[in-house]
Amino acid sequence: MTTARRFAMFPSITARLIVGLTLATTLIWCGAVTYSSYISYHELDEAFDRGLHESAQRLLPLAVDSVEGNGRREAHEIHHYIEGRNEYLSFQLRDSAGRVLMRSRDAPATPYNQNQTPSPGFSTAGEYRLYTDTDDASGLTITVAETTKGRHEAVIGGAEAMLWPLLALVPLNMLAIWLTVRGAMKPVLRLSSDISTRSGVNLAPLDISDQPRELRPIAEAVARLVERLRAALDAERAFAANSAHELRTPIAGALARTQRMIAELRDPVDRRRARDVETTLKRLSDLAEKLMQLSRVDASVGLAEREVDLLPVLDMVVDDCAKRLEPGRLHYTKTDGAKLSARMDLDAFAMVVRNLIDNAVNHGAAGGRIDVRLPADCTLSVVNEGPVVPPELLAGLKRRFVRGETRSSGSGLGLAIAETIVSQTGGKLELFSPAAGRADGFEARLRLEEEATG
């Protein structure tokens, strides 16, 4: 069985240890019982034989006496010698012709061994173990017999006595292993939970101070990796933030200076040229902005550590966008008591909303109405007037650098940025054209935390 298959059968190390160690203990125990039963069988055999021998020696003179004293060598039974003392033991006293003169009650009337004269000493016949001894003076022979059943019962009883504890031992063993393993696994579980909570938003250093020797190299390697990742992400975010600052200021200067020139120039040709510069600057500014957003998005800035209220951010961004547009163009409808919260970074959420509104402004009908709606079910909709976007084009709009058939100069990145952030945070961005409840237009519908994220 390969390692992978073993893990498929027992996904937990604890389960594997419990099953493996319990099986091994049981097998070892059974082996030990077998071996000790074998040894005790031989020892018991010898002890029983000794008993048989002693019984014969004690019984012989008594039996001879009894027969000789009677004066008649006739077959009769005596009971009292051994009655009630040993159910397995019996005897026969025979004369030299092999006639049974005397026997215990359990003994057969015919000799134990019909076919042959019992040889002196130990022998086995059928289910009997026999010991035969002859009184030299009288020529009488005693054969003491013991059924082997007793011996077998003793050995089986002994083996059973040793096997019974196994019933208790197996669960006890499992419990002991489980307790031990659980104790030993604690650092592993702590390490694994420590590592699993690390993400783009939580790169706090791992605590490796009290890890056992075996885990220390793993813990240290992961801690180093987390540290390097944190430094790299910090650098990337700082770069995005700094470059944003460094880029925006000169662009702002150039744009403002150009707009002053347009205001001051009298010659219409010069004014048109200056307007061209202004338009280009705005496109450059927009593209730089989107590329900076993209670099931040690719550094996984979307997810926040905990759930945050996003409603104030939505208000702020919508207000900001409304101020940049013609008065009355942007309509913001909030259902009373609507809530909007998610495990989402504030700036990332602001980026999503800004991009959806920018998209509506850039690709909707010129000067057309734009609706931002937050109904009670907490789906955010941005709807713009405009022609219907064909379905085959709609499907590709969330890809980078894809634009619809539009007169506008958008970068083709806005929806891709929004989509990336939303999917990073477990939400869903859906595009519809025509917009819901209309014959035309375009609607972007945002559902936050569609699937619960860990």
Partner 1 sequence: MRVLVIEDDEVLGEAVRDHVAASGHGVDWMKRVEAAREALATVPYDLVLLDLNLPDGRGLDLLRELRSGGSKVPVIVLTAMDQIASRIEGLNSGADDYLVKPFDLSELSARVAAVVRRYGGNPNPLLRVGDLDIDLARRFITAAGRPVDLTAREWAVLERLLRRPNAIIAKAEIEDSLYEFGAEIESNAVEVYVSRLRKKLGRDAIKTIRGVGYKVGQ
Interacting residues toward partner 1 by CB under 8 A: 241, 244-246, 248-257, 259-260, 263, 281, 285, 313, 316, 320, 323-324, 327, 346-347, 350
156 vs 252 by CB, closer to partner 1: 252
Are 374 and 448 contacting, i.e. CB atoms less than 8 angstroms apart? no
CA distances from 111 to 101, 102, 118, 130 (A): 10, 11, 9, 11
75 vs 255 by CB, closer to partner 1: 255
Q: Whole-number minimum distance, CB 373 to partner 1, in Å?
A: 22
Whether a cis peptide bond, with omega within 30° of 0, leads into 391 is no
Backbone angles phi, psi at 308, to 5 degrees: -130, 155
Q: Whole-number minimum distance, CB 241 to partner 1, in Å?
A: 7
107 vs 348 by CB, closer to partner 1: 348
Q: Whole-number minimum distance, CB 436 to partner 1, in Å?
A: 29
What is the rounded CA–CA span in Å between residue 76 and residue 65?
A: 14
100 vs 418 by CB, closer to partner 1: 418
Query: Helix (H, G, I), strand (E, B), or coil: what is residue 319?
Result: helix
Are 377 and 450 contacting, i.e. CB atoms less than 8 angstroms apart? no
217 vs 253 by CB, closer to partner 1: 253
55 vs 411 by CB, closer to partner 1: 411
* Structural tokens at position 308: 């945050």
Paired sense of beta strands 370-374 and 76-77, if any: unpaired
Q: Whole-number minimum distance, CB 287 to partner 1, in Å?
A: 12
84 vs 328 by CB, closer to partner 1: 328
* Structural tokens at position 145: 């017999």
Q: Whole-number minimum distance, CB 426 to partner 1, in Å?
A: 20
Q: Whole-number minimum distance, CB 303 to partner 1, in Å?
A: 15
Q: Whole-number minimum distance, CB 277 to partner 1, in Å?
A: 13
- What is the DSSP code (8-state) at residue 271? H
* Structural tokens at position 315: 């208000």
207 vs 305 by CB, closer to partner 1: 305
96 vs 242 by CB, closer to partner 1: 242
Contacts of 356 (CB under 8 A, 6+ apart): 380, 382, 414, 415, 418, 444, 446
Are 69 and 77 contacting, i.e. CB atoms less than 8 angstroms apart? no
263 vs 452 by CB, closer to partner 1: 263
Question: Which amino acid is located at 296 in the chain?
Answer: R
Strand partners, 332: 372
What is the rounded CA–CA span in Å between residue 407 and residue 424?
A: 31
Query: Helix (H, G, I), strand (E, B), or coil: what is residue 392?
Result: helix
DSSP secondary structure string, 204-253? PPP--TT--TTTHHHHHHHHHHHHHHHHHHHHHHHHHHHHHHHHHHHHHH
Are 155 and 43 contacting, i.e. CB atoms less than 8 angstroms apart? no
Q: Whole-number minimum distance, CB 254 to partner 1, in Å?
A: 7
Contacts of 380 (CB under 8 A, 6+ apart): 314, 340, 353, 356, 372, 373, 374, 445, 446, 448
Q: Whole-number minimum distance, CB 257 to partner 1, in Å?
A: 5
Q: Whole-number minimum distance, CB 297 to partner 1, in Å?
A: 14
302 vs 404 by CB, closer to partner 1: 302
Q: Whole-number minimum distance, CB 279 to partner 1, in Å?
A: 12
